[in-house]
Structure 1
Amino acid sequence: MAEARASGAPTVLRVILGKRLHDLREKAGCSYERAARELDVTHATVRRMEKAEVGLRIPYVEKLLALYGVDAAEAATFIDLARQGNRPGWWHRYRDVLPSWFSAFVSLEGEAAIIRAYEPHYVPGLLQTEDYAHSVLRAGRPGATTEELERLVELRRERQSLLTRPDAPLLWVVMDETVLRRPIGSPEVMRAQLDRLAEACELPQVRLQIMPFDAGPHPAMYGPFHIFRFQIRELPDVVFTESLVGAAYLDDVDDVSTFLEALDRMCAQAAPAHSTAAILDGIRKEI
């Protein structure tokens, strides 16, 4: 997936359809150049459609499906899905405050069956209280207005609703002890946040492990990351890494395997999930 483009991130459905177009073209033995001639465009346009870097123009999709020999029933279904994939996600209404590179994250998060993460700095957004979120966002966006911060907190709150859906994903997080001891906001804010984490541990689809200081070095001391896994066969695992100016979305098998192996080792090294509530309670008593 490479770098998320500033023009806006695709929905997960559009990513899947782009990959399906790629597979259909290759199955038909059709080159990029041949497909481009059919559409009277450059081969770069065909590549960008397959990579979900642009919307799927329905007339183009219809011509490509015919060129690839797709039967009428399958083509009709594909066209219907393409129309759905071109519609903006629910988060589009927050585009005034949501960085374009983060839109892809929200899309992946909402469609994932399993979300695994390592967090060395702060509580993941899906588990933050509103007061904690305000403090984190204020530090990260010192120039933001009060209204902008409120919009971002509202977005975060709406994202959290996926944990209470009937089909909620498994959220499995390894969090450094540093996260729990770094003061974010007032002591009251931190105590409330620790309580929120303890409540989350009671949810059947949430698994939280703490990496204690005395565990020493571990394989992912480079920075935070998320790994998304989907029930949809056509969509590969995706790794998300973030920096101050953007993000990278990786789906190369070797890259993803590197992150998965590191996280598996960390899960074995961290305190087991059944001890997390006791760790949280101990730290809360110290605040």
Structure 2
Amino acid sequence: MADARPAGAPTVLRVVLGKRLQDLREKAGLSYEEAGRALDVTHATVRRMEKAEVGLKIPYVEKLLRVYGVLDAEEVEGFLALAREANRPGWWHRFRDVLPEWFSAFVSLEGEANLIRAYEPHYVPGLLQTEDYARAVLRAGMPHAPEADVERAVAVRRQRQALLTRDRAPLLWVVMDETVLRRPIGGPEVMRAQLDRLVEATDLPHVRLQLMPFAAGPHPAMYGPFHIFRFPIRELPDIAYAENLVGASYFDQRDDVSAFLEALDRMCAQAAPAHTTKAILGGIRKEI
């Protein structure tokens, strides 16, 4: 499990390059300590670079590549160019005043994934929220924040949603608890508009929405919400994300992620089939 408070939220590219550095070190047969001595730094610095917990210092990266036996000048320069790109802040950096550091990493993963699976027992997922619904949710979660901060947080959510309309949009597959649709947020008009938004989303070819009805009883993920990200990048494993009141945890170990995947697969089998979602949403809307 990776702690959710790194020194600067890592971009996905930084994660990938960190894993490449790890592969090169291991292929060279060097330990953290030996690599650290080559840089005249502690072994922890090398480990943190590989785990994307710190930025990639270009002189360090260049020297490590040489130590690891990467001697081709063109290959070295290509790696360094990627490292410089990886150190650039993402678009969300300008919202860092209202975006928690631990969630910045989430936005980076979300933006690079080609498959996003999620279980949500409390709220409509951010990628599918209307602005009014998002505003009501954010006000509840930021009770002491100035109105301007809430609006900036809404702007972050709006910009995140752009990935659903871009070319080669990711597949978004969500299991949402019936509680989400029964909890009044923002008043009847806001809820009706939000349900309409969900109905529209079911028509998108890259959105699959399933509802877990009360009648289905207990299920394997009653502990809380989580996401699983899959990427089109060979070096990057599936990553699971679980959130709590003051932060979040990211999991990339195979056994940990497998536990999330198994729970979600079981829930998908237990939830109402995706082709029935639109009718269920329409029925709930009539009740509001």
TM-score (norm. length: structure 1):
0.99
The equivalences for 1:124-203 within 5 A come to 124-203=125-204
1:210 counterpart = 2:211: yes
Distance in 2 between residues matched to 1:214 and 1:51, nearest whole Å: 43
- 2:78 is aligned to 77
Query: Cα distance, 1:9 vs. partner?
Result: 1.1
- 1:60 is aligned to 60
- 1:7 is aligned to 7
Distance in 1 between residues matched to 2:5 and 2:212, nearest whole Å: 34
Percent identity of equivalent pairs: 79
Which amino acid letter does the alignment assign opposite residue 111 of structure 2? G
Aligned with 1:47: secondary structure? Answer: helix
On the 8 A contact 2:240/2:251 being kept in 1, the answer is yes
Query: Cα distance, 1:8 vs. partner?
Result: 2.3
Aligned with 2:281: secondary structure? Answer: helix
Distance in 2 between residues matched to 1:120 and 1:177, nearest whole Å: 8
Distance in 2 between residues matched to 1:97 and 1:8, nearest whole Å: 15
- 2:92 is aligned to 91
Which amino acid letter does the alignment assign opposite residue 258 of structure 1? A
- 2:40 is aligned to 40
Deviation per CA, 1:75-132: give whole Å up to 9, x if none: 1211110000000011000001000010000000000000000000010000000000
Aligned with 2:185: secondary structure? Answer: coil
On the 8 A contact 2:6/2:54 being kept in 1, the answer is no
On the 8 A contact 2:8/2:55 being kept in 1, the answer is no
Distance 1:6 1:49, change over 3 A: closer
Aligned length: 287
Distance in 2 between residues matched to 1:227 and 1:126, nearest whole Å: 14
Distance in 2 between residues matched to 1:279 and 1:12, nearest whole Å: 37
Query: Cα distance, 1:6 vs. partner?
Result: 5.4
- 1:102 is aligned to 103
Distance in 2 between residues matched to 1:253 and 1:146, nearest whole Å: 42
Aligned with 1:36: secondary structure? Answer: helix
- 1:16 is aligned to 16
Distance in 2 between residues matched to 1:69 and 1:8, nearest whole Å: 29
Query: Cα distance, 1:37 vs. partner?
Result: 1.3
Distance in 1 between residues matched to 2:220 and 2:35, nearest whole Å: 44
Query: Cα distance, 1:186 vs. partner?
Result: 1.0
- 1:226 is aligned to 227
TM-score (norm. length: structure 2):
0.98
Aligned with 2:119: secondary structure? Answer: strand
Which amino acid letter does the alignment assign opposite residue 35 of structure 2? A
Aligned-pair RMSD on alpha carbons? 0.8
Aligned with 1:2: secondary structure? Answer: coil
Query: Cα distance, 1:21 vs. partner?
Result: 0.3
Which amino acid letter does the alignment assign opposite residue 7 of structure 1? A
Query: Cα distance, 1:5 vs. partner?
Result: 1.6
Deviation per CA, 1:180-239: give whole Å up to 9, x if none: 011001100000000000001110000000001101111000100000000101000000
Distance in 2 between residues matched to 1:31 and 1:7, nearest whole Å: 23
Q: Which moved more, 1:226-235 or 1:25-34?
A: 25-34
Deviation per CA, 1:159-178: give whole Å up to 9, x if none: 00000011110000000011
Distance in 1 between residues matched to 2:253 and 2:287, nearest whole Å: 44
Which amino acid letter does the alignment assign opposite residue 53 of structure 1? E
Which amino acid letter does the alignment assign opposite residue 97 of structure 2? D
Aligned with 2:267: secondary structure? Answer: helix
Distance in 2 between residues matched to 1:215 and 1:46, nearest whole Å: 48
On the 8 A contact 2:8/2:54 being kept in 1, the answer is no
